[in-house]
Amino acid sequence: MRVKTTIALLLLACAPVLAQQSPDPAAHSTPPATVPFSEFKVKLEVEKGEFEVRGNLTLAPESDGINLYKEEVEVKVGSFAVTLPAGSFKQDGERTKIRYQGRVGQFDLDVLFRITGRTSYHIKIEGEGGDIGKVSPEDVTVRVGNDAGTATTLTP
């Protein structure tokens, strides 16, 4: 009887080790690939010490959506680039407006997303107090989570 009890205890002791050798496939999944916006058009105005970007973006059909409250947001304009951590954006009055306002480096930055449809947004990005350097025709990039786009700037 003692031999059966010992074998049973050994099997129970090994069970967690055996379970650890079969990892959960979801625990090692790779992050989702970047999904380009299906549409991303902006206008860029630059004056000494400030810039303003206005435009529209539409998520691609294969997008998993964006959540400005829970995903980091990256903005690049000229040589200016910032990644705002998840939780930086807050609702601004209306339910359809989500905004970040704060100081980033030498810039006072105001980033506004206004929901205009199920998968479409109007964006406005303003920076004041610094220099964005030389601006080329493809100098505006916006990324929210794994959704992103780089736009050819249009003169107003």
Within-domain flag for 6: no
Residue showing tokens 């359809």 = 96
| C-alpha radius of gyration, the chain, whole number | 24
Q: What is the pLDDT at residue 37?
A: 97
- pTM of the predicted structure, to 2 decimals: 0.76
Total number of domains constituting the chain: 1
Whether pLDDT at 23 is above 60: no
Within-domain flag for 91: yes
Domain range for 73: 35-154
Whether pLDDT at 55 is above 50: yes
pLDDT in tens, 58-93: 999 999 999 999 999 999 988 889 999 999 999 998
pLDDT mean over 2-12: 39
